[in-house]
Structure 1
């Protein structure tokens, strides 16, 4: 029933997009998970490379 509603609501282009997704879902899902992991680990690298407080980066201690 849900499939018929989605076919009606999305029309022929939505059906084509859904078919494309189901044919390539392993590749697409792997790509999404890979991008999410990359962003997760790149945030952690940036946080560890930057000082906690802006005053720590100033050599004479004047803000």
Structure 2
């Protein structure tokens, strides 16, 4: 399976988290927003902004506007 790596002395990195699982744990409004955006956003970055905005007292709609 590692046919396209070429010859390198660098070690390969293993993923710590499952990207699908991290997407599935996001709140429903945030998942809908991520599915409709033009440019791809990593779930981790979107969740960080979501949590930060909600902690400031904004509602879900305000958090989506911050994104």
| TM class by smaller structure | under 0.3
Q: TM-score, normalised by structure 2?
A: 0.26
Which of the pair has the greater relative contact order for Cα pairs under 8 Å at 6+ separation?
2
Q: TM-score, normalised by structure 1?
A: 0.27
Q: Which structure shows the higher helix fraction?
A: 1
State which structure, 1 or 2, has the greater radius of gyration over its C-alpha atoms: 1
